[in-house]
Structure 1
Amino acid sequence: MTTTTVAVPALILAVLALAGAAAAWLRLRAVQRQFRVLWGEGPQRDAAATMRMHIGRIDALDDRVTRLDGRVDGIGEHVAAGLRHVAVVRYDAFGDMGGRLSFSAAIVDDAGDGLVLSSIHARGESRTYAKGVVAGRSEITLTPEEQQALASARSDRADA
């Protein structure tokens, strides 16, 4: 009977230990599935090596972004000097002509440098004029339509 009193608790303890080991093994498998992304693929499934690899990739991307940022800063000056602000004003140059066939077009950069083109349409002829613009002003007197076109072209800038 003494053997039985010792064997039964030992058997119960062994079953509980086996159940605890099975539960721990199942939990370990669940954790392994969750961290499979960190371990990476291949024969060396090491979370630390995978983290080092990702840190290296992040550092390389940071260097690349820094270089690209420098290039973007350099491009900004070229964009500001581009003739990218445009406005067209159509009008009737003569009272007896309709259809607003005459026009003035202003084309300037961020600093207000560029040109104003005007085409005056009459019954028998058409004349075209070009006037240079520096800092939003022209050495040649601008017509009201040319001034309107220039003001419209410069108004799409935030600092105009």
Structure 2
Amino acid sequence: MEDPTLSVVATGAAVVAVLALVLAVGAQLRLARIRRDFRTLAGDGSTDIARVAAGQNQRIDRLDADVTRLRAQVSAAEDDVRQSLRNVAVVRYDAFGDMGGRLSFSAAIVDDFGDGIVVSSIHARSESRTYAKGIVGGRSSVTLSPEEQQALAAATKGEPRSLTHSRRKDVS
């Protein structure tokens, strides 16, 4: 009672069963790998993706708040720097014909808005005089000497910090 068709069907069924078993084992291994990757993604061993996503959203919100706070602090620091007396220029010169060595000087010290001070020191053989003049918006309410004007112009333009001017004044 051996029917060749029955043998072929039985062999085919066995092959299909073995093939199904191989596919099931492969699917089980892939599922295990996906679960492992998911646990790694979750970080704490949880398998709740919604909780992981919510945690990430909270971290992003905190980072966004930190960035906003840091931007405000940087802006405040930039304002402080603009208002600091950091632009300096010095003009040295001989104020009188009987003195050499360019011992007299005018120094302008201003912020980025042109507010600050000009200090001049005039040295003669027997005496020295020092003057300070306030500067607001790049201008003084008191008349500035040519050396003071040169120092102020250099400081407000951010030019080199030390200039030399060879003007000699005659003593009258």
Deviation at 1:31, TM superposition (A): 4.5
Alignment: residue pair count: 156
Deviations 1:129-158 (A, max 9, x none): 1111122111222111111111111113xx
**Distance across 2 between alignment mates of 1:32 and 1:89:** 76
8 Å contact from structure 2 (residues 38, 47) kept in 1: no
Counterpart position of 1:136: 138
Counterpart position of 2:26: 23
**Distance across 2 between alignment mates of 1:29 and 1:96:** 98
Where do 1:75-114 residues align within 5 Å? 75-114=77-116
- Residue identity over aligned pairs, in percent, reads 59
8 Å contact from structure 1 (residues 38, 51) kept in 2: no
8 Å contact from structure 1 (residues 119, 129) kept in 2: yes
Stretch of structure 1 that moved more, 130-139 or 90-99: 90-99
Which amino acid in structure 2 is aligned with residue 56 of structure 1? Answer: Q
Structure 1: runs of 5+ lacking an equivalent: none
The change in CA–CA distance for 1:119 and 1:15 in structure 2 (over 3 A counts) is farther
Deviation at 1:8, TM superposition (A): 1.6
What TM-score, normalized by structure 2, do the two folds share? 0.71
What TM-score, normalized by structure 1, do the two folds share? 0.75
Counterpart position of 2:56: 54
Counterpart position of 2:12: 9
8 Å contact from structure 2 (residues 90, 107) kept in 1: yes
The change in CA–CA distance for 1:109 and 1:35 in structure 2 (over 3 A counts) is same
8 Å contact from structure 1 (residues 121, 127) kept in 2: yes
Structure showing greater relative contact order (alpha-carbon pairs closer than 8 Å, 6 or more residues apart): 2
**Distance across 2 between alignment mates of 1:94 and 1:28:** 95
8 Å contact from structure 2 (residues 106, 120) kept in 1: yes
Structure 2: runs of 5+ lacking an equivalent: 159-172
**Distance across 1 between alignment mates of 2:22 and 2:101:** 94
Deviation at 1:50, TM superposition (A): 1.3
Which one has a bigger Cα radius of gyration? 2
The change in CA–CA distance for 1:102 and 1:18 in structure 2 (over 3 A counts) is farther
Deviations 1:85-141 (A, max 9, x none): 222223333345444333221111232221101122334443321111122111222
Counterpart position of 2:47: 45
8 Å contact from structure 2 (residues 39, 46) kept in 1: no
**Distance across 2 between alignment mates of 1:38 and 1:105:** 64
**Distance across 2 between alignment mates of 1:99 and 1:26:** 91
